Structure 1
Amino acid sequence: MRASLVKHPQSHCAAVSSVNVDVDRLSLTSLMLRFAASGAIGDIAIPPPAPPGRRDGLWRRTCFEAFFRGKGEDSYCEFNFSPSTEWAAYRFARYREGMAELENVERIAVERGVEPGCLVVAARLDLARMGQAADEGLLCALSAIIEEKSGSKSYWALAHPAGKPDFHHIDCFKLEIARNTAS
């Protein structure tokens, strides 16, 4: 399924005209995310390739994010994917509380592609390692932080709560990934 992200109303972004995410549930425990930012890609501050691995603070630069929560659960997981191919994975006990590194995630394969007019970052996730009730269906929030070479940042999400950008907010969890389905 394809989801389109919307720019936060207080964000300005001359470089990117759209951000779309393809979400494919490959199996009960496997999910593929493909983020595509379209526009004047040469104006985006794209982190250079780095050895794949876990790194904190990716959200400070151009980064793509996915949040997952089981239906009816307060706890949720956050994943950050950088065009550098670095990644981060966290677990929260409830809204912005009890943050901890998500254990059991040793590696996430992140791929990057830069084409004329399009920056693509793709990641394959093992849902079983999240500790979420993947078989009962998941609620998902998808987001992007786009940093332009000018230093300006824009914030993109499926939906935005009132006020400043807040990708953790319950109002952002707009995509339902049904149980026991694969595309």
Structure 2
Amino acid sequence: MQNVTALGPKNPWTANLLSALGIMHFTNEEIKETFDSLVGEAQSIQKVRMFELLKVAYGFEPMPEEMGLFVNTFHLEDEDGELSWPELEAGFDEIRDILSGVSKNATEYTSSDDLRTDALKHRRLMKDPMDKFKAPMTEAMSIGWHEEEVFNERFPKQSCSETRYADEMVKCKLDPF
């Protein structure tokens, strides 16, 4: 498993991208070894055992977002049936293609001139951080990361009696001073 140390990933910005899921870090050959050890001579695995296959292959539980991709790709909602290795391999490649498209979403600029021009003109980025990252990268990003219901209480201006008296005199076109 790459990028895992006691101190965390080498680059926390790329490790937190939406595309940084377990399937991107393991090759089909590595998953095939786990597949062969789980199914033995059967050469197909039951759909209900997909989570087990991924957990054993990765060495950790797959993220819910990743399992959602597997459910959609392999139609795991209908628990009956089995998947052969060629079907799994094709599905893994399809998921990797989807995730590589998502990783391109994190790139805002391909030219340093465009970056400088936008910075000079104070243009905002086209994509929000929630479209790029799984979780907030800084504490400041955590405010508003998930849409919360905002309650704006109104505290109207309170004037003392002297101020109200002076305001009424001004309305009557009298000089309060």
Q: Larger % of helix: which?
A: 2
TM-score, normalising length: structure 2: 0.21
TM-score, normalising length: structure 1: 0.20
Q: Larger % of strand: which?
A: 1
